[in-house]
Structure 1
């Protein structure tokens, strides 16, 4: 574990990857985790909505609850997830990598501080849209030729 120059206590690094469904959050988190583990880091991967009681409720009610009520559920899940899962891993010196769905209210994010009650992400990553997908032909995607797979 590397200490930051301004820190007297070892602690993990909090990287938050936020974005809409299908934007590649889980893929980015998995690739980053592999790189960090290869570098000798201890990594904890998690996701939101969480698998805890509040996150489970969020998942169950996403199709029926809307607006501020749903935003409050997501906010409650983030507070609970941060307290019971993310902070303990950070205190143990691990890198925490939550993959989080874009909340219904943009003010409910890991990047905002709530009067010192929440911890800001050391590295917040916000994905805004789904990645462009290459058709299985000889087109180009992001300036590179698409790879053809042999079937």
Structure 2
């Protein structure tokens, strides 16, 4: 993985968080733990990677992260509201300083006209309350490509929380 753009992003992010004494938490749905795995691939990641939640089902989002069931019902799992709630829930259920959350439709099936394959919501939050969100529409580029691109966005968003 060394030399891979996401590895390099992760390495730079971890260098900065370690210097600040910050811990990162991930809350992942469509990436299934790939963000945490990318961070964990960097030697010394344990200095900044606190934990990762893989919350693929709505039940897991509610049970492990405290995402309100009315948000899931009213907006759907793949939404801005749920992504932000996942990031904030990851912080609430850990001692981490920064959290990133992703929820989306990686494909090849599961999309609709309103929420097509390739739609991903990425949110990041700091313990001081700042939250960022991006809606990505990658299109039907393939499941692995959606996951890879989502990891890139997530790592960049975590880095922006440090600026």
**TM tier relative to shorter chain:** 0.3 to 0.5
Give the structure, 1 or 2, with the largest relative contact order (CA under 8 Å, sep 6 or more): 1
| TM value normalised by structure 2 | 0.37
Q: Determine which structure has more spread, i.e. the larger CA radius of gyration.
A: 1
Higher helix share: 2
